[in-house]
Structure 1
């Protein structure tokens, strides 16, 4: 994953680098080769992103956004045919029927489900809030063990059939990666240490909400797994991460054991994985899961709105810590729903993962929120 001048990464991979390193260390010769090839591709992409940094990217956030009043969903799925040269061959465009290619059709549905969540629930028109076309590129590379968002497009490998299935199989993975783009435009949160863990956490939140909404699941019904179905039956694991029970997603001779903590007392301090961004995200993940299940009903209704408003809060800084983010979620709950059950549920959830926020520090902010209440229908919003 690579940095650019916007202080966050525009190359986000769903499989953390430490997992591919585990495969390279513990896997068969073929698995080792595929893992090392995947790491090499990711390293090259980081270098490309670093070489493309500059003022135009920085200026993108400074351009006033136009008023959006209607749905502008525009999806295109490209078939890379196991090559690496973009864009590939157009396989399915907005409004086209199923193709019969599972990766193409799953990507198309995932792009649509993600767009619909942000538009119909949060009144946001695509990733940038201004109708950004959603492009996906499937069948990328040969046995590429990852999927990523590079600031412009979604890219999916086919996996190897030994450890990983195709990366379009889990719709929350698609939602997760696209949500990185939302954080880039609304944040930013630097992709390192606690801020990076929050960046990953927000993508897990919105990715899970995409899946739950497509399945019409309440918070109580949801499995709260990220990447369920992605690991093959040969792997001793159920997903890449568990938001409900961090640290329990997998325990496998090749992949190792899920390293995520569920409490701040177990926060992992490391230089690997950009300071543990995929590891320590388990702490806020569990807090959100507790909030959503205790609020009951659909997780996107109240819990999702509180978290979206927190992402939009101008006091969220590139280097914000988990405790600072927790304070802002409580502030958002009070602003949206008043001092009552919602506030207490959010406060209690953070306390259960070792983040205690005093009432004095979570008072009302002196700024006007962008959204006063959840929109039942898409709303006109100025940017």
Structure 2
């Protein structure tokens, strides 16, 4: 089996996935667009605000009528938010107005209610105001025809609020990558069934599907195949027909029942041993025009492989922020196997980072307390306590 470095495998995976990185646009209702990547610029179809309106509850007046303070003016009406067809404001008068209500013609400022005193049908104004104060002008937020949200924006709540405010009901977003997951192995059974000797529960299907969804792609199916090549081929064919990318786990090593390698290597699949722990055996293929990324079957190997080889691509395709990396001091001495790049499970603390389990690829329960991977170079055999190491956020 070919042997390569982690970086060489990353380059191979990147080349495999590059054709599916830019997905076509699809139109979705605005209520379904949260967390989606906007495909085109969105232009405001109307001014926002659409009309002159009051910024405060108070009184709309002519600023020139406030020459002498205090000024007492007759109240000639009331305008509430949602009122239409307000009559012009006569000189030397005031109209009671609510926040968001349209200003009557002739009014050029609003006096907040806390600066006034009402006596029957008259209002006394105790503070001078100038033209334009507490008045929202049309287009002062965004003008019709101006860019409201740029293409390639990851739509958050604030973007949806602005789009809804100008009356937009649908938007064009990038279609999410459709990913199918296949686990393999005679030993795997679904949770809920009784375990018999030699059997284990299938955790990879759920874990990979959750990882895919958490990183911005759509899970179209989660299937399982035994170690029978004919069965695997049927499951793979169905998955490839529905997906942009197929993820498999298991069946890629050097044993006698490596169903994924046996099926895909004769069809041009590239299977190699990567100098890393966990996650050594890896495979990349193209099946019926669909890229297939084949990960090892041990649960920790599967998850670590996803983190290293697939997570960055999925997040970039979905417009999500890249995974955070940083340097932290180790709380205890760490040893590593020479010739393999180690991705140890770690936990961050106030003092730095500490290893939470051994390097074994079966220690899935030990990952519960981990929040980072500690990235140890293949030429490193020991890191003293207190020395900084590179960590990758899980």
Instruction: Return the index of the structure with the highest Cα Rg.
Output: 2
- Pairwise same-fold verdict (TM > 0.5): no
Q: TM-score, normalised by structure 2?
A: 0.24
User: Which protein has the bigger helix share?
Assistant: 1
User: Which protein has the bigger strand share?
Assistant: 2
